[in-house]
Amino acid sequence: MNYWTRRTRVTVILACACASVLWVDTPKVDAHSHQNYLFGPSQTSATQGKSTTEPPPAAKTRDDLTPRERRAQAYAKLLEGQRHYAGARNGRLTPESLRDAQQAFQQAAELDPTLAEADTALAEIAFFYLDDFAQAERLATSAVSSNRNNFGAHRVLARVHAINSGLFENKLNRAVAEKAVLSLREVIRLDANDPEALALLGEFHLALGREREAVDAFIRWAGAPAALDGRFYQVLTKGRELSQNAAAARLGEVLLQVGRSGEALTAIRRALAAEPNNLTYIELLGRAFEAGGDNSSDAKNALTELKSIVKANPNNVAAIALLARIEARLGNVDGAVELLRGATAKQSNRDQFTLKSELAQIHADALRYTDAAALYEEILESRGIDTTLLTSERDKNFAAFFMSQIISLRRQAGQADKALAAIERMRALLGSDDPKVDVQYVLHLREQGKRAEALEAARAARQKYPDRVEFVRLEAATLTELGRVDEAATLLSAQLDGSSGDYDGHIAIASVYLEAGRGLQAVESARKALELSSTDGAVGGKRATQALLLLSSAQERVGDVKGSEESLRRVLAEEPNNATALNNLGYFLVERNERLAEALQLIKRAVNAQRTNASFLDSLGWAYFKLGQFEEAERYLTDASRRNPASVTIHEHLGDLHQRRGKSDLARAAWQKALSVSVDASTTTRLKAKLKGGAIK
């Protein structure tokens, strides 16, 4: 057994070895009969007159015992076993006492095969001490067949199935998981507020795709009394707690997964109120806001509570960063900047780094690219990084990350010369043989529209780093932009070897075809990627999502409206808050002028999750355009064009809006910008027609 080893079991013995057999009510027996067996014949007046020298009667063999006597002896052995086993409660259980306990329980079971408690005790010993799950399951099943209300036996079965299911090792066996569900339901039938059973039941329902049942179980767990001991659950789940606060947080997390962000916020607030410095709960609160929970009264209350947490603990860096992020989301960017600058001065160097990084991101999101770049420069300076060649790999990785951020910000600010200077500085820091520098250089040339030079640079880098696949893909992307799609596809296809590792290759090929407007070929490659996505175990879900999103776009391109929507619905069935799927579904509906109200809500959810995503902002602006709300359309389309000045679609949409509002010069300028970066033949033809006649598709 890979995970549940003997050593692991030892950590939960104290919590669980004194389980059912040690605390369940011992079934009632005839008191007089039980007393006679344990203490010998009672001293009545009739016996007191007899000579003490009279020999005792011969002892009965087991076969000579009456059923009543066998049962009495069985209970006596059960009690004897319990006495030996009781050392597990205080950690003093010795190998000898364990052996004696096992023998006593075995004798009890032989004397009375219907004595469920004896089988349960033996099942627990097999489970916790003998590493024998099969025997534990067999004995617990026997106990349940004798007494279906034996709590301990159901718990042993639930635990055995929970471990064997592979759920917490990302190797779910659905058949065993269903067995676990049945056993957990029996535990809950006997104890409706058992925290461990409710928590595990929720996890299994979630893994089996039964979201409603999962939420119900987690709600019950969050409302259950505190667990007496959660060490078995903690070990099984690799570190999770079984506390009431953890229950509220887990409920909030699951509610977020199923798209119920308002309710999630309520649950997370409850957990955070009890543990205001819990970093996990603070992170969950941030996710709830990002999922769209920032428009409710609960969100306002949560914001107030967050301010109180920061006031009470000015060193709670995670809470400060989240508060600033939320203030910025609500439009108070200057307030967020002031909060972070004030807090940064009071923190240690490590925490200053965290808050400066958060401040830089807030500046970038607010299109204050120069301010953001300056903060990243401060971070590098604080590390002693200037223009001198670095020797430490740790320093190189640190510099590479922040220099990449600076380069990106300079590009977005339209500062091409400063972006190029930053690339050269990055080369000086990392050395001329670091491929990350060449990646940035090729991207810079493409961004500047210097595609021939970019192609030459990509090919040179591919020769220099033959094992780095990113240069193959950069070359293919550049070829596509030059209209040489077949060359790009051939280049990428040469990397395929017929193995499951071809997933990324098919994704790249599908993307090339989609970018070039060759939908049928994009569909074919996306389907191949989807087929391979299920072969990678733990990451299969994420890969399937990526393939389905790409497939949906390709299907939309070839006019397969039904197939496109089905692909996106498949993603949303697994990830209700997947922002890309929400955006794409809404955008496709807008493009077809169908269900515009529904489309608007879908896109709003995507924007709430990623408020600086240029593609999502474009979708929202385009939805408002189709609804005739031109001021709102201009607001979002203009914002999108600032965040991604190289997008053909965004500039075309902005041109269409200007033309509709009678701003012909602005329309032509936007269309011309779109044409300058277009690589798709049909898009190019359409833009030329608009520039010639001003017509909107």
What are 47-71's pLDDT values in tens digits?
A: 444 444 555 655 566 677 788 988 9
pLDDT above 70 coverage of the chain, percent: 88
pLDDT score recorded for residue 178:
96
Domain 1-37+65-242 = CATH 3.90.1150.10: no
Q: Has residue 678 got a pLDDT over 70?
A: yes
Over residues 541-560, the pLDDT tens digits come to 889 999 999 999 999 999 99
- Hey, how many other C-beta atoms are within 10 angstroms of the C-beta on 451? 18
pLDDT above 90 coverage of the chain, percent: 65
What predicted TM-score, i.e. pTM, was given to this entire model? 0.73
> pLDDT tier at 674 (50, 70, 90 boundaries)?
very high
CA dihedral over 681, 683, 687, 690, signed as positive or negative: positive
- What mean pLDDT is predicted for residues 485-502? 94
Measured distance CA(322)–CA(300) in Å, rounded: 14
Q: Has residue 28 got a pLDDT over 50?
A: no
pLDDT score recorded for residue 609:
83
Q: Has residue 592 got a pLDDT over 90?
A: yes
- Torsion angle of C-alpha atoms 59, 63, 65, 71, degrees rounded to 10: 120
Q: Is 163 exposed, middle or buried (0-12, 13-18, 19+ CB in 10 A)?
A: buried
Q: Has residue 696 got a pLDDT over 80?
A: no
Residue 447, token pair as written in the block: 């961004």
Residue corresponding to tokens 């909030």: 252
The residue among 168 and 153 whose pLDDT is bigger is 153
CA dihedral over 63, 67, 68, 74, signed as positive or negative: positive
pLDDT score recorded for residue 27:
40
The residue among 184 and 286 whose pLDDT is bigger is 184
Q: SS3 for 313?
A: coil
Query: Residues, the chain, total?
Result: 697
Of 295, 344, 346, 301, the C-alpha closest to 324 is 344
Measured distance CA(368)–CA(374) in Å, rounded: 10
pLDDT score recorded for residue 61:
65
The answer to whether 405 and 438 have CB atoms below 8 angstroms apart is no
Q: SS3 for 336?
A: helix
Residue 399, token pair as written in the block: 């510099």
pLDDT score recorded for residue 584:
97
Over residues 95-119, the pLDDT tens digits come to 888 898 889 999 999 999 999 999 9
Over residues 309-337, the pLDDT tens digits come to 999 899 899 999 999 998 888 889 999 99
The residue among 462 and 258 whose pLDDT is bigger is 462
Mean pLDDT of the chain: 87
Q: Has residue 170 got a pLDDT over 90?
A: no
Q: Has residue 374 got a pLDDT over 50?
A: yes
Q: Has residue 697 got a pLDDT over 70?
A: no
> pLDDT tier at 17 (50, 70, 90 boundaries)?
very low
- Cα three-residue angle 369-307-316, rounded to 5 degrees: 75
- Cα three-residue angle 348-352-356, rounded to 5 degrees: 175
Over residues 619-655, the pLDDT tens digits come to 999 999 999 999 999 999 999 999 998 899 999 999 9
> pLDDT tier at 93 (50, 70, 90 boundaries)?
confident
Over residues 248-271, the pLDDT tens digits come to 999 999 998 887 888 998 999 999
Question: What Å distances lie between residue 299 and 282, 305, 311, 326, 605, CA to CA?
Answer: 14, 10, 18, 10, 16
Measured distance CA(24)–CA(80) in Å, rounded: 15
Of 478, 481, 480, 446, the C-alpha closest to 462 is 478
pLDDT score recorded for residue 615:
96
Highest mean pLDDT pick, 125-139, 161-175, 545-559: 545-559
Over residues 381-436, the pLDDT tens digits come to 999 999 999 999 999 999 999 999 999 999 989 999 999 999 999 999 999 999 99
In the DSSP assignment, the letter for residue 294 is G
pLDDT score recorded for residue 171:
85
Q: Has residue 186 got a pLDDT over 50?
A: yes
- What mean pLDDT is predicted for residues 263-290? 89
Q: Residue ranges of the domains in the chain?
A: 1-37+65-242
> pLDDT tier at 169 (50, 70, 90 boundaries)?
confident
